[in-house]
Structure 1
Amino acid sequence: MAWLRNRVRAARLLAVCACCALVGGAAPTLAAPPPRPAPEPTTEAGRTLKSLLDTAALGSAATYAHLGLRAGAGVLLFYTHNDYQPIWTQEAGWNQGATEALELLAKAPEYGLCREDYQWKQLRGLPDSLRQLAGNRQRGPLLADFELRLTDALLRYGIHLRGGRRLAGTLAPEPAGSSSAEAASRLRTALAAGSLAGFVAESEPTGRAYQQLRRAWAAALAAACPEDSARLLTGGQALFRQVAINLERLRWEAAPDSEYAVVNIPAFQLQLVRGGQVVQTHRVVVGKPEMPTPTLDSRIIVFVTSPEWRVPYSIAVNELLPEIQRDPGFLADNDYELRNAANQRVNPWRVRWQRVTPETFHYTIRQTAGRSNALGRVVFYFPNRHTVFLHDTPARTVFSRPDRALSHGCVRLEKPLALAAYLLRREGTEATLRPALSGPTRHEKRRFDLRRGLPVHFRYYTCAGENGQLRRYADIYGKDQALLDAFFPPQP
């Protein structure tokens, strides 16, 4: 009851401050009147809500802090549009709408969210709180407090469903800002339609990956026995936590394109998606943990057949130099060319390799097109600051391995010609691919510029949904822990 008495005192104090500001405050400064002033509430409950939400006395931040509102701007906008009339309460207590709202909040774990973030336990205890109060003077402030905090909880619920609980990339708490106004608008629309479920549906992301994971999580809960289902919905359960942080990752993403390629790094998989349907699936090899493949968004704009590989300096000095020092013939055996700073070919047998160190290695190494070329028959390019790309590989057996975090950061593709054919089919020029890969000029480099291009996304999901089934993947780069610590901090 101490919590309850504090809430009532705070609500009554704020109402008194607001009223004093209206009748006995300093002389108002000259300002243009609002174009359409809100009408004065016609009920006592409405006047109480208006006085509580009046920010003139304390300022908006302090007012919302006193009321315990995290989405205060949206709450104010919501009640301004409703002429400050209560939505969830009546003189006798809460109404049927409040019951439905609390049931909605109770389902938060089904969306990878936690009920505790929305004061669900405290809010559902209103009937018991009212029964323990003596006298009618305390009922009004308590009902008003409940009214505002339930709306605040629903708006934050909608904000979290739409864009996540944290800022992408920083894990800082998401500031309400304009998002609370958008959530308030969606809530008003849902109430006008008579369906709070519509508020959730309009708030959730529409992307395929998000919807697939949400449905797979719902199917897992439905398939479990009641005891196991209840256990799965607790914040201490490992599967719930894994689902929750991956739904959060998916909420951080922009609205999906109608057609795109997506690489899920922990799944070692690339999918081509068109119109919400997967049209191609490829196994891939991604970067090893010490050379991780980055997450990114770009657009495939060109691919090259029979490419030449310019070996990156780090690979040249760390991996190839020791081989060359043991046997300079290693270069010719693997179709490598050694060139100096003037881009002139150098005979590797005339270099005193034992004197060459990574610091004095002033050469470049290129691998010509052919069967041994590390890029295989085709490489796909897209602008990105990491200089990574998609490519074929001559090492085909690697795709049968379950753990495929083996590359230097670029992504090796299991069926690159199928992707190339798909891209050219979109351009209407698929027939031009076969001559580039067969006949006497099959090792001749050819470039295919794409007029349309194809959006490509590299993602990191350790949990995903596919055909109604949950799929869990190893956290190969150890990225999950930071999110788990942010969302589920250890309890004192």
Structure 2
Amino acid sequence: MKTGEMNNAVIKRIVIFLFISCIFTAANVKARGLAILRTDTSVKAEIIRQLNDKAVNSGLYFPSSTKRFYLKRNFAPIWTLEQKDQNKTWAAMLLVDCVLQFGLRHEDYHPKDLLYPLLHKILEQPEKISNSQKARFEILLTDAMLTFMNNLHFGKLNPYYSPAKIDRETVNGFNGSDILANALNQPAFMDAIVKVQPTNEDYKTFQHQLHMIKGVYEGDCYETPEADVRKIAVNMERLRWAEINDSIYIQVNIPTYSLKLVRPDTTFNFKVIVGKRAAPTPLMVSMLTDFATSAGPRVIKNKSRDKFNSGNFSFKAATPNEKKGAYIYFMPGNKAGIELQGVSDKSLFGKGGRAASDGAIKIERGEELAKQLLITGGDKNDMKLVHRALMNREVKVFPLKKPIPIRITYITAAIVDGQIVKYNDVYNLDSVIENMLYDIKPNNKTK
């Protein structure tokens, strides 16, 4: 063998030897790391172990969010640290202990494990509590806080976002684990947490009333609340679903048979007819991007592509039981195919109870609503064109330059001069939500 060939062979053997050595070294390091973790009994190591334990995760409401929270902290404990300032730990306990003040259920936040005597021992006599117990308390308090925040923001029974979806991703810019981490850096920790609630005025009025009734963070947190408190809680839950946090929006409320267009300076109110009990109007969170005038009732050709274009719908002549008149269709993009129909027959809106529609939500003074929408988010110059199209019974689409949030809600109460006013529960839904919120059997309610 030539010298060059021999040198190449030697080099090749050395490279192979080094490669194999690296593999064994890496495997050995990993094995040693695992061995260290297995022998490490610190709270941090216990947190890692328990968050990777399927049995522990199955008992958490938001396991992925909890794990993300600790991952960003490198799994360091936060609530069970031996520190001079333990105010945030006690504040967290107080919040999840008295969730009734927010219309929520105490049993949903690990009350059997998050015990005050245990926390006192963890913080005051840490040597008497194992790191495994400390880690468990850590994880459960974090999960309880995340659950509380998510329930305050989205509601417990949100029909649009499941707990699993909220747990695995950021929803509409809201990420509980990031917000909790940020709140821990704020001097007013409790304020930073409860700030996740809706900013809608109706919600804030309910929240204020509930605090007036039960006391701010005080009172008995363990009873099933009385009927009026439950009524308020049910409607706070629904307002969490509605995401009414804009200064400009449209809200159709089924129990009051009303539509309101809210602007920063004023509110415009309209009467509506909603679906009857056999064809109930569903809830909706959407955006209104345009509306159209027409000569009569609309016939949809393709529901899956239902927009204002000539290929998807046509119009039929008025039937004998329908008064002749122009129509305006306000069609938000929604999977349920809900449409709002402005009609010119004012006599339809004289009755007090107006759950009488087979489908569309019928709106009194549709032309006035159309004009206000153009002022709010469209072109004011189109106002004359709307009137002309209605007079000539033309099919014409009017886009909005600024889409307007539109919500269909089911709010069955209001606070007027400090007193609760109850509306007709048109579809008998209050008891359903109430029982689910508080896990109450229908025949076992507190009066």
Alignment of 1:455 onto 2:404: yes
- Work out whether residues 64 and 70 of structure 1, in 8 Å CA contact, stay in contact via their aligned partners in 2: no
Per the TM alignment, residue 450 of structure 1 is displaced from its structure 2 partner at its CA by 2.5
Per the TM alignment, residue 128 of structure 1 is displaced from its structure 2 partner at its CA by 8.5
**Stretches of structure 2 lacking an aligned partner (at least 5 in a row):** 1-23, 301-314
Alignment of 1:415 onto 2:407: no
Distance in 1, Cα, partners of 2:220 & 2:119:
27
Helix, strand or coil at the partner of 2:267? strand
Per the TM alignment, residue 122 of structure 1 is displaced from its structure 2 partner at its CA by 4.6
Alignment of 1:155 onto 2:146: yes
Alignment of 1:60 onto 2:52: yes
Aligned residues: percent identity? 21
Helix, strand or coil at the partner of 1:176? helix
Alignment of 1:285 onto 2:269: no
Distance in 2, Cα, partners of 1:85 & 1:188:
12
Helix, strand or coil at the partner of 1:477? coil
- Work out whether residues 287 and 410 of structure 1, in 8 Å CA contact, stay in contact via their aligned partners in 2: yes
- Work out whether residues 41 and 131 of structure 2, in 8 Å CA contact, stay in contact via their aligned partners in 1: no
- Flag the 1:61–1:427 CA change in 2: closer, same or farther, 3 A: farther
Offset from partner CA, 1:162-185 (integer Å, 9 cap, x none): 223245259777763336993222
Match of 1:488 among 422, 430, 438: 438
Number of residue pairs matched? 390
Match of 1:192 among 174, 185, 193: 185
Helix, strand or coil at the partner of 1:89? coil
The residue identity in structure 2 corresponding to 1:463 is T
The residue identity in structure 2 corresponding to 1:265 is I
Match of 2:425 among 460, 475, 485: 475
- Work out whether residues 279 and 358 of structure 2, in 8 Å CA contact, stay in contact via their aligned partners in 1: yes
Helix, strand or coil at the partner of 1:367? coil
- Work out whether residues 375 and 391 of structure 1, in 8 Å CA contact, stay in contact via their aligned partners in 2: no
- Work out whether residues 66 and 177 of structure 2, in 8 Å CA contact, stay in contact via their aligned partners in 1: yes
Offset from partner CA, 1:45-86 (integer Å, 9 cap, x none): x9622221224xx882526348x5443443344344445444
Alignment of 1:95 onto 2:86: yes
- Flag the 1:231–1:460 CA change in 2: closer, same or farther, 3 A: farther
- Flag the 1:456–1:97 CA change in 2: closer, same or farther, 3 A: closer
Distance in 1, Cα, partners of 2:268 & 2:28:
62
Distance in 1, Cα, partners of 2:28 & 2:150:
34
Distance in 2, Cα, partners of 1:420 & 1:188:
45
- Flag the 1:214–1:47 CA change in 2: closer, same or farther, 3 A: farther
Distance in 2, Cα, partners of 1:185 & 1:140:
26
Alignment of 1:203 onto 2:199: no
**What residue is the counterpart of 2:226 in the other structure?**
237
- Work out whether residues 103 and 236 of structure 2, in 8 Å CA contact, stay in contact via their aligned partners in 1: yes
Offset from partner CA, 1:79-138 (integer Å, 9 cap, x none): 44445444333559993322222222244223222222113465242258749x999454
- Flag the 1:77–1:445 CA change in 2: closer, same or farther, 3 A: closer
The residue identity in structure 1 corresponding to 2:341 is L
The residue identity in structure 2 corresponding to 1:477 is Y
- Flag the 1:117–1:289 CA change in 2: closer, same or farther, 3 A: same
- Flag the 1:32–1:241 CA change in 2: closer, same or farther, 3 A: farther
Question: Could you state the TM-score of these two structures normalised by the residue count of structure 2?
Answer: 0.70
Distance in 2, Cα, partners of 1:471 & 1:32:
68
Helix, strand or coil at the partner of 1:147? helix
- Flag the 1:103–1:393 CA change in 2: closer, same or farther, 3 A: same
Alignment of 1:404 onto 2:354: yes
**What residue is the counterpart of 2:155 in the other structure?**
164
Per the TM alignment, residue 145 of structure 1 is displaced from its structure 2 partner at its CA by 3.2
Per the TM alignment, residue 405 of structure 1 is displaced from its structure 2 partner at its CA by 0.9
**What residue is the counterpart of 1:321 in the other structure?**
none
Alignment of 1:266 onto 2:255: yes
- Work out whether residues 47 and 139 of structure 2, in 8 Å CA contact, stay in contact via their aligned partners in 1: no
Distance in 2, Cα, partners of 1:59 & 1:134:
25
Per the TM alignment, residue 475 of structure 1 is displaced from its structure 2 partner at its CA by 2.3
The residue identity in structure 2 corresponding to 1:62 is K
Distance in 2, Cα, partners of 1:28 & 1:162:
49
Distance in 2, Cα, partners of 1:446 & 1:73:
51
**What residue is the counterpart of 1:325 in the other structure?**
none
**What residue is the counterpart of 1:295 in the other structure?**
283
- Work out whether residues 373 and 393 of structure 1, in 8 Å CA contact, stay in contact via their aligned partners in 2: no
Match of 1:177 among 160, 163, 168: 168
The residue identity in structure 2 corresponding to 1:366 is A
Alignment of 1:378 onto 2:330: no
Match of 2:236 among 247, 250, 255: 247
Match of 2:208 among 205, 215, 218: 218
**What residue is the counterpart of 1:324 in the other structure?**
none
- Flag the 1:130–1:420 CA change in 2: closer, same or farther, 3 A: closer
Question: Could you state the TM-score of these two structures normalised by the residue count of structure 1?
Answer: 0.64
The residue identity in structure 1 corresponding to 2:384 is T
**What residue is the counterpart of 1:356 in the other structure?**
none
- Flag the 1:381–1:151 CA change in 2: closer, same or farther, 3 A: closer
- Flag the 1:284–1:234 CA change in 2: closer, same or farther, 3 A: farther
**What residue is the counterpart of 1:347 in the other structure?**
none
Per the TM alignment, residue 263 of structure 1 is displaced from its structure 2 partner at its CA by 0.9
Per the TM alignment, residue 269 of structure 1 is displaced from its structure 2 partner at its CA by 0.7
**What residue is the counterpart of 2:5 in the other structure?**
none
**Stretches of structure 1 lacking an aligned partner (at least 5 in a row):** 1-26, 313-363
Distance in 2, Cα, partners of 1:169 & 1:234:
29
- Work out whether residues 262 and 458 of structure 1, in 8 Å CA contact, stay in contact via their aligned partners in 2: yes
Offset from partner CA, 1:428-484 (integer Å, 9 cap, x none): 22551586289xxx4644635225375363523233557786553222123334433
